[in-house]
Amino acid sequence: MIQAFIFDMDGVIIDSEPLHFAGDIDTMRHLGGEITQEELERFVGMTNPEMWKIIRAERALVQTVDEIIAYQLAGKIKALEESAYEPIDGIPELLEELKRRGIPVGIASSSAKDFILAVLAKFGIASYFSCVVSGEEVDQGKPAPDVYLEAARQLVADPSRCVVLEDSRNGIIAAKAAGMACIGYVNENSGNQDLSAADRIVRSVREVSIDSL
């Protein structure tokens, strides 16, 4: 029996990658440049500081990473609050099933903690999660395993008995590096993601069966 179930958030709990892509494109324009969604897809699953550190170096941006993220995050939270977003289909039912079976649940997301909490508040699902870990709170973000190992530590669970739900290549690499089983969720809005390293691939959250874990 598994000891804990750990969710990625963006593209798994909320179909937010389009919001992130739009926010990042807007941020780049604010900085005086242009960037395409295709160029951004390689960063899906990575933290904002790691992403903007790379982009800043590649584009020779004069603003600091902190300045860039301050503008980006404020815009994304505002867009979230003004949106009609709902949880991805099947998420409420999966959370209820995990709760019914007494399986501890956590989030290990690359998003900023403020954005994670804003999503949980908007959906009214914060009470389901025993821990919420941002990739910005650990030494290295995805594809390093740190965020998943920290979630397992907070859940008092053996990593080898944790199951992860992920939608990105970087996230799956992180989960497997942590020694966890990983379900890859195909979300077309997350861009062209290689999910082949996952233990199982699903096209709907409703395909996730607790009995089969």
User: Which whole-number Å values give the CA distances from 94 to 71, 110, 207, 211, in the listed order?
Assistant: 34, 21, 10, 12
Q: Coil, strand, or helix at residue 181?
A: strand
Number of Cβ within 10 Å of residue 121's Cβ equals 12
Would you name the residues annotated as active-site residues?
8, 10
Quick one: angle between helices 65-81 and 113-123, nearest 10?
0
Could you tell me if 107 and 154 are in contact, meaning their C-beta atoms sit under 8 angstroms apart? no
Instruction: Give the burial class of 92: count Cβ atoms within 10 A of its Cβ; 0-12 exposed, 13-18 middle, 19 or more buried.
Output: middle
Sheet holding 200-202, edge to edge: 131-134, 105-109, 4-7, 162-166, 181-185, 200-202
Instruction: Give the burial class of 124: count Cβ atoms within 10 A of its Cβ; 0-12 exposed, 13-18 middle, 19 or more buried.
Output: exposed
